[in-house]
Structure 1
Amino acid sequence: MRLPRSSAGWTIAVFGVLALLMGALGLLWPEAQLRMLGFEVPQSRSAGDYTGTFLTASAMASFNMGVYYLLATATEWRAFFRFTVVFRLVTFAVFTIVVLADVAPDRFFGVALWEGLGAVATAVALRRDARRAAPAPGAAQPARQAPAVAESGRPAPASAGGGSRSAGADR
């Protein structure tokens, strides 16, 4: 896999690697992931408790998302980078609300913060990359050569008069 080619690509790559690793952790050792997030891990679960099923689905989604982010990094898919900024900010808002509403433990706010800071870091990096790519104000633009024109007034084929002389210079 090739390394990211932009600052924004690096922010996406870091998130992708961490999403992939957290997904793998959730699949291999779900109790550790629950403890990290501040959730209780009871000795046994009652009938009808599908916490394990939900955690497996979430972990697999995280693992897959990590792969998607790494693929976007490898291809420098800038539209995807911009898309993630918006939806990671939405995720930050939703996760913050569930903590404030006492639906999730306070430690879960760390996940919200990670999403929000990641979105801001990618947005800043995208802006920085765009400024680097833009020509400096007042910089001379390279001159464009006019295409060669045949006597018919239409553009000449590339092999006919494509040099530095114009088509009528032979007369």
Structure 2
Amino acid sequence: MRLPRSGAGWTMAVFGVLALVLGALGLIWPEAQLRMLGFETPAERAPGDYTGTFLTASSMASFNMGVYYLLAAATEWRPFYRFTVWFRLVTFTVFSIAVLTEVAPGRFFSVAAWEGLGAAATAVGLWWDARRAATDGTPEDAVAGSGSVPAADTVH
């Protein structure tokens, strides 16, 4: 896999690895995932308790999201970076409200913070990459090495 070539790309790669690893953890060892989030892990679940089902779906979504973010980082897909900033801020807001309204335990705010800080880091990375491109006098996509940039041996 190709390493990121921009500040924003590195934020996407870090988030991608974390999402992939945490998703795998939830699939392999769901009790550990629940404990990390502050949820109770009773020895036995009551009939009709679909916590395991929900955790499997959530963990698989996290695993897949990690793959998507790593693919975006490897290809420097900048429109995807910008898209994720806004939706990660929405996720931060929804998860924070869940904690504030006591729908989720307080420790669950760490997930909201992870989303909010990740969105901020990617936004800063995008800003830094654009600033660097402006300083160098090169197009932003050329600095970032996005998939739409001509091959390196192409004369500009």
**Counterpart in 2 of 1:15?**
15
- 1:117-164 residue CA offsets vs partner (Å, 9 max, x unmatched): 11001001100100111146xx7xxxxxxxxxxxxxxxxxxxxxxxxx
What runs of 5+ residues in structure 1 fail to find an aligned partner? 140-171
| TM-score, with length taken from structure 1 | 0.79
CA distance in 1, matches of 2:31, 2:135: 52
**Counterpart in 2 of 1:163?**
none
Determine which structure has greater relative contact order: mean sequence separation of CA pairs < 8 Å that are 6+ residues apart, divided by chain length: 2
- 1:45-68 residue CA offsets vs partner (Å, 9 max, x unmatched): 111111100100000000000000
Deviation at 1:104, TM superposition (A): 0.4
**Counterpart in 2 of 1:80?**
80
- 1:81-132 residue CA offsets vs partner (Å, 9 max, x unmatched): 0000000000000000000000000000011011001100100110010011
The one-letter code sitting in structure 2 at the alignment partner of 1:72 is A
The one-letter code sitting in structure 2 at the alignment partner of 1:98 is A
Q: Which has the larger radius of gyration?
A: 1
CA distance in 1, matches of 2:106, 2:127: 32
Q: Which portions of structure 1, spanning 4 or more consecutive aligned residues, are displaced by more than 6 angstroms? A: none
Q: Percent identity?
A: 78
CA distance in 1, matches of 2:58, 2:135: 44
Aligned to 1:79, the other structure's residue is in SS state helix
Aligned length: 137
What runs of 5+ residues in structure 2 fail to find an aligned partner? 138-156
Deviation at 1:5, TM superposition (A): 0.2
